[in-house]
Structure 1
Amino acid sequence: MKATAAVVWEKERPFSMEEVEVDEPRAGEVLVRIVGVGVCHTDLIVRDQWYPVPLPAVLGHEGSGVVERVGPGVEKVGPGDRVVLSFDHCGHCANCLQGKPSYCATFFERNFGGGRPDGSTAFAKDGQALHSHFFGQSSFATYALASQNS
């Protein structure tokens, strides 16, 4: 499906509004129509590569919106639910099971790795993959794909 996203193509360059392709939700994922998103200094330091996240990328990590579709196995939310997105976490490591998801054993890979845990990305522009799943959501777009844990 098509969406509009603010893409970072290069270090220290402005965000560029682009029409992009968004994947359909996979197992455990939700497609959220973004209705509001904040701009945080973290987005800016990543854009400028003070904190290196793979580029080109769709950033944004303070998204809120409405669930449009869900992938197989999603049980926590459904279409029409209003949601505020947060960081991703596995939900089954020792820290997650103790109620400390911000200390998830795979936190950095899930939130700063540039894609899904399997390495795939959610966005593309003219066939070129755009890194995604920033803080588990990449919400600088009209639609975001996020884990149901986000």
Structure 2
Amino acid sequence: MPTRSGTARYEGLGKNGKGWTSTQSGVLNEQHYGFGTRFENEPGTNPEELIAAAHASCFTMALSFALAGAGYSDGTLETSAKVTIDKDGDGFTITKSALDLQATVPGISAEEFERIAREAKANCPVSKVLNAEITLTHNLSA
């Protein structure tokens, strides 16, 4: 299996520092991040936003493959993830990733969809790496 990589550089320290992050694919290339992008509304990215995008995309792909494995060949899945970071003593902890799924899968029952979605949530690689509460809400359209 391939190994993927990302890099980060931070110049200066603490709130006064400025950071840049890049990905192997080049999707992110010297994208700005820092205190202002993480805890205020300054333009740029932050680790929680990146984890949210990774979790939403990983879960959605895992669910897509699980549904295909169950014999379904058509559908649309759209997931958003909201990652929560909370103060924890002297530091911070990511405490939750809330997945919200909008799905259309013709011919599937609500019960079967619920079972497959819960299994995909538990088994996607990003869910497995997170040490946080992971919730899933969904809306299935016929």
After TM superposition, the score normalised by the length of structure 1 is: 0.21
After TM superposition, the score normalised by the length of structure 2 is: 0.22
Flag the structure with higher helix content. 2
Higher relative contact order (CA 8 A, sep 6+): 1
Flag the structure with higher strand content. 2
